[in-house]
Amino acid sequence: MSKSKDFEGIQITAFETQLRFSVLAVSGALFYNACMKIKPKAPFVPVERHDTVRKEIIAALEGRTLSAKEISGEVRISEKEVYDHLEHIRLTMTEKGRRLIINPAECGKCGFVFKKRERLKKPGRCPVCRAETIHEPLFSVE
């Protein structure tokens, strides 16, 4: 073993030095957390559901016409997740003999209707007038 430092007249190795500094660092971190009263984060608890999210979306759309933002508020999921679920609902509803009806997005400035758009999300801007005031597409189940 190679002796590296003379600490108060005692020869210690590099490993012992490193070990002492790591113990001091850990104890210092624990002391800091105790002084600052840092509370540990509570674990994430998901919302309790009785139906699947897609069944809840279909139930919300039956007999009503809603935007993705309104659906996300009712079902309590993000708007991005709503679009993913609506895409799947559109494909599976045709197999069951029902349909997802999509009223396309419309430009608020010139009135351009996005009829041929395959994506369900609202577009960023109008291709005709370049306005960004686009009304969201609306969805319903028939």
Q: Are residues 25 and 63 in the same domain?
A: no
Predicted confidence band of residue 45 (pLDDT cuts 50, 70, 90): confident
pLDDT of residue 19: 53
Q: What is the pTM of this model?
A: 0.63
Q: Are residues 63 and 18 in the same domain?
A: no
Q: Are residues 32 and 57 in the same domain?
A: no
Q: Are residues 12 and 72 in the same domain?
A: no
Question: Considering the chain, what percentage of its residues have pLDDT values greater than 90?
Answer: 52
Q: Are residues 79 and 123 in the same domain?
A: yes
Q: How many domains does the chain have?
A: 2
Q: Are residues 31 and 59 in the same domain?
A: no
Residues 46-88: pLDDT tens digits?
667 678 899 999 999 998 999 999 999 999 999 999 999 999 9
Q: Are residues 82 and 107 in the same domain?
A: yes
- More confidently predicted of 10 and 91: 91
Comparing C-alpha atoms, which of 55, 108, 120 is closest to residue 83?
A: 120
* Residue 48 in domain: no
Q: Are 107 and 124 in contact (CB under 8 A)?
A: no
Q: Are residues 67 and 118 in the same domain?
A: yes
Please tell me the chain's helix, strand, coil percentages from 3-state DSSP, rounded to the nearest 5.
40, 15, 45
Q: Are residues 70 and 136 in the same domain?
A: yes
pLDDT of residue 91: 87
Would you say residue 13 has pLDDT above 70?
no
- More confidently predicted of 21 and 109: 109
Q: Are residues 28 and 96 in the same domain?
A: no
* Residue 10 in domain: yes
**Average pLDDT taken over every residue of the chain:** 81
Would you say residue 41 has pLDDT above 80?
no
* Residue 45 in domain: no
Give the domain range for residue 24. Answer: 5-36
* Residue 137 in domain: yes
Q: Are residues 57 and 31 in the same domain?
A: no
* Residue 112 in domain: yes
Question: Considering the chain, what percentage of its residues have pLDDT values greater than 70?
Answer: 70
